[in-house]
Amino acid sequence: MPDKKSNETAIRKLARIGKRSIGLTLPIDEVRRLGWREKQKVVVKRVRGGLAIRDFIEGPHLPAETQKLWLR
């Protein structure tokens, strides 16, 4: 969406997916910048004032600090 102001590209709507889920589209330029792909696993965590989305890292090599923050 190059014709919109940069602050407007961050505004997204939630969409119902089935009966019990809600979906959210992410700006493609941000997804590409993170190197994320379709069907990639991510971790969603509740934080003060909203949600945080991070790449899912599998295995014992996960740093202890990350385990404390993201795998509670």
Domain assignment of residue 24, yes or no: yes
Range of the domain at 60: 14-70
Per-residue pLDDT tens for 13-31? Answer: 999 999 999 999 998 999 9
Q: How many domains does the chain have?
A: 1
- What CA–CA distance (Å, rounded) separates 41 from 11? 23
- What CA–CA distance (Å, rounded) separates 29 from 34? 9
What is the residue type of 45?
Answer: K
Domain assignment of residue 32, yes or no: yes
Domain assignment of residue 44, yes or no: yes
Instruction: Give the three-state DSSP class for 1.
Output: coil
Domain assignment of residue 41, yes or no: yes
The better pLDDT of the pair 23, 9 is held by 23
The residue among 9, 12, 5 whose CA lies nearest residue 51 is 12
Domain assignment of residue 2, yes or no: no
pTM of this structure: 0.62
Structure tokens of 23? Answer: 């979906």
Domain assignment of residue 1, yes or no: no
